[in-house]
Amino acid sequence: MWMVEYESTDVFRPGAPVVLFDSPGWVGSGPWGETFDVAQDDERFIVITNATSADGETAAGPPFVLVNNFIEELKRLVPE
């Protein structure tokens, strides 16, 4: 998942893309639309992925993973 900061004045000026996190097995867009969403407070994502085992085989797993306090978790995982 990537993000791009931008300026929205008279002209759209995108910044450099930045990787937010790696999501192996992310399904991307599906027949029902996007397979991720962002909470209204912009603090959390929910992402649908295919669960895989250590050997790369499809594995049974939880139906979803919920990350609370996403920004704090990102700061913990990727310190400055």
Pairing relation of β-strands 2-3 and 6-8?
unpaired
Nearest alpha carbon to residue 68 among 60, 56, 76: 76
Q: Does 49 fall in a domain?
A: yes
Total domain count, the chain: 1
- Residue 32 sits at the vertex; the CA angle it makes with 30 and 33, to the nearest 5 degrees, is 65
Structural domain harbouring 34: 24-80
pLDDT of residue 17: 92
Q: Does 17 fall in a domain?
A: no
Nearest alpha carbon to residue 49 among 76, 67, 69, 74: 67
Whether the model pTM is above 0.75: no
Q: 6-56 pLDDT, tens per residue?
A: 888 888 889 999 988 776 666 666 666 667 788 888 888 777 766 665 566
Q: 43-69 pLDDT, tens per residue?
A: 887 777 666 655 666 666 556 677 888
Side-chain-side CA neighbours of 69 within 13 Å: the count stands at 5
